[in-house]
Amino acid sequence: MKRHLSKLYLLLALVAAAIIARYQSSIGPYYFQIIMYIGINVILASSLNLINGFAGQFSLGHAGFMALGAYTSAVITTSLHVSPGTAASYPVFALALICGGIVASVFGLLVGIPSLRLKGDYLAITTLGLGEIIRVIIQSLNFLGAARGFTGIAKLSNFFWVYAVVAIVIFTIANLVRSTYGRGFLAVRDDEIAAEAVGVDATRYKIIAFTTGAFFAGIAGGLYAHFVTYINPSQFGFLRSFEIVVMVVVGGMGNIAGVILAAALLTILPEALRAVAQYRMVIYALLLIIIMISRPQGLFGQRIDWGRIWRRLSKRPSPPAEGKT
């Protein structure tokens, strides 16, 4: 019953995304850009949440997966000369995104393999290293524009594409986590040795987490490339990875709704703080330290308890003068 319901939600979300996409031109370009970035960051943070939050494998190479997806899909759409708006552009773009995702997930597999032997700090720095290696390789490839970047990518991403993927990612991860796989992830995260002892195949779960997470990061990269229409290797450095990590940590590792909320908040925050833009990263850094010291479970903890929030809100006696219920 619950599964059907979530499929229904997915369908509703897709329809809503399609309807809003028809009216996207009425949103101001500045706000539209922020909305698109929120969507892309939600995809990135949610997919990293699967690796970091649920499977407990601390990865610092997410920007690398994103770069792979971005470049792969950009090469496909530009070599096929897809122009936005044509009927052919939709299936080709979908295919390009999926190809980007697949390439990223193949590398996710490569990253997943060291994770079988490495833990914590070592894994973090290895994934950081792999992300950097990906970036350096792209930078040395001339047909990808090397350090000059890749220009002339068709602007194929629109509201529908981004938010359809957001819906699919949330749907996939929410279902994955509720399934036996999810239990496997949590078991590996909480105590790998104990999990192995009771017969949980830790290797398998780690690899599934890495490939799935990388796949969606690749798709997010594709969406990003086809939105900004110009990409270069420096956009996918480790600072990008750090930003995604901050979103996951602030939202609470393993908290799906919390991470989505954090991704949205942290995308809006620098825009709202335009006046103090140069303090942005300092604020991020302090946020990270303070949250780790005072609330390591993230701002929203393990899960957002909507019921409790609702009870608390409804219990509070409303001032009669305003007449609210």
Positions in the binding site for other proteins (CB under 8 A): 56, 58, 114, 117-118, 120-122, 124-126, 128-130, 132-133, 136-137, 139-140, 193, 242, 245, 249, 278-282, 284-289, 292-293, 296
Residue 214 CB contacts under 8 Å (≥ 6 apart), including other chains = 47, 65, 104, 105, 107, 108, 109, 111
CB of 48 to other proteins, least distance (A): 13
Based on CB atoms, which residue is closest to other proteins, 84 or 301?
301
Based on CB atoms, which residue is closest to other proteins, 226 or 240?
240
3-class state of residue 150 by DSSP: strand
CB of 73 to other proteins, least distance (A): 24
- Separation of alpha carbons 141 and 187, rounded Å: 41
CB of 43 to other proteins, least distance (A): 22
- Separation of alpha carbons 200 and 187, rounded Å: 8
CB of 147 to other proteins, least distance (A): 9
Q: What is the length of the chain?
A: 325
What the block records as the tokens of 282 is 């300092």
Based on CB atoms, which residue is closest to other proteins, 168 or 281?
281
Spell out a b/e string for 278-288, using b for 16 or more CB atoms within 10 Å of the CB, else e. eeeeeebeebe
For 168-188, the DSSP string reads HHHHHHHHHHHSHHHHHHHHH
CB of 278 to other proteins, least distance (A): 6
Based on CB atoms, which residue is closest to other proteins, 84 or 114?
114
CB of 288 to other proteins, least distance (A): 3
Asked whether the CA dihedral 93, 95, 101, 104 is positive or negative, the reply is: negative
Based on CB atoms, which residue is closest to other proteins, 85 or 120?
120
Can you list the alpha helix ranges (DSSP code H) found in 23-60? 29-48
CB of 138 to other proteins, least distance (A): 11
Based on CB atoms, which residue is closest to other proteins, 18 or 292?
292
- Separation of alpha carbons 109 and 111, rounded Å: 5
Based on CB atoms, which residue is closest to other proteins, 183 or 280?
280
Nearest in space to 248 (alpha carbons), one of 299, 186, 206, 203: 299
